[in-house]
Amino acid sequence: EVQLQQSGAELVKPGASVKLSCKTSGYTFSNYYMSWLKQMPGQNIEWIGDIYGGNGGTAYNQKFKGKATLTVDKSSSTAYMDLSSLTSEDSAVYFCSREDNNYYFDYWGQGVMVTVSS
Amino acid sequence: DIVLTQSPALAVSLKQRATISCKTSQNVDIFGISYMHWYQQKPGQQPKLLIYEGSNLASGIPARFSGSGSGTDFTLTIDPVEADDIATYYCQQSKDYPRTFGGGTKLELK
């Protein structure tokens, strides 16, 4: 069974950084892309970027370049996203999601709420 | 970026048909495959894949869900609507980067 388990909720101060994790199981991590997505309360879903589990190759939404950095640890089948210089506009739920071969999102993590507040 | 446009809400009665549309600013077909996908999201939950590549039913999804369309016009149909289907539905394209989603259609009961 494919599973994506995300780390817990984060409360961070403005200007700080946070690192989110997405631990996977049930499939060959290095054969798939992993995407990260953002959803502000009551809002649309935004695609942040993706990373290939095999070689760590990345693609980013221009909107999130400089804000998000995606990495993977193949040894633990875990994907990570660093968010830097956090502001209130970064308060949102962040999802990781596996991409199937035609780049639709077939499995999702449960989401993690990031709250930026002093 | 490819823009996807959905109506914000749709009111429907139980056991009736719901038709949710998604229009794209560019053609999302390549060599006969529509890079258009549909998701269901309930409050406090992650989205769930319903339909991929325009019309293919995802694993475990009931047959009352179906997808159709091509090019720039796509439709998600739920027939008949059940109480458990009350949720927000999103379309998403994967023809180009960045991947983009529609604004979502909230399915409500009449």
User: Which residue of A lies nearest to B34 if distances are taken between CA atoms?
Assistant: A102
A74 min Cα distance to partner chain B (Å)? 24
Write down the pLDDT at residue B38: 98
From residue A92, alpha-carbon distances to A39, B65, B75 in Å are 6, 30, 29
Locate B6 and state its tokens.
């959905």
Report d(CA A15, CA B93) in Å as an integer: 33
Report d(CA B102, CA B22) in Å as an integer: 7
3-state SS, residue B85: helix
Which residues of chain B are modeled with pLDDT < 70? none
User: Do A45 and B33 count as a contact with CB atoms less than 8 A apart?
Assistant: no
Rg (CA), chain B: 13
| pLDDT tens figures, A59-92 | 999 999 999 999 999 999 999 999 999 999 999 9
Is the pLDDT at A6 greater than 90? The verdict is: yes
Write down the pLDDT at residue A89: 96
From the list A45, A50, A61, which residue is nearest B47 (CB)?
A: A45
User: Do A102 and B100 count as a contact with CB atoms less than 8 A apart?
Assistant: no
Is the pLDDT at A102 greater than 90? The verdict is: no
Report d(CA A37, CA B32) in Å as an integer: 28
From the list A63, A100, A104, which residue is nearest B92 (CB)?
A: A104
Comparing CA positions, the residue from A87, A109, A111 lying closest to residue A34 is: A109
Q: Where are the beta strands (DSSP E) in chain A?
A: 3-6, 10-12, 18-25, 33-39, 45-52, 58-60, 68-73, 78-83, 92-99, 105-108, 112-116
3-state SS, residue A62: helix
Comparing CA positions, the residue from B20, B7, B13, B108 lying closest to residue B68 is: B20
A97 min Cα distance to partner chain B (Å)? 10
| pLDDT tens figures, A9-52 | 999 999 999 999 999 999 999 999 999 999 999 899 999 999 99
Write down the pLDDT at residue A103: 87
Contact (Cβ atoms closer than 8 angstroms) between residue B21 and residue B73: yes
Is the pLDDT at A101 greater than 90? The verdict is: no
Write down the pLDDT at residue A3: 98
Comparing CA positions, the residue from B16, B12, B11, B20 lying closest to residue B79 is: B16
Report d(CA A49, CA A94) in Å as an integer: 12
State the count of interchain CB pairs (< 8 A) between A and B: 56
User: Do B52 and A104 count as a contact with CB atoms less than 8 A apart?
Assistant: yes
Write down the pLDDT at residue A1: 96
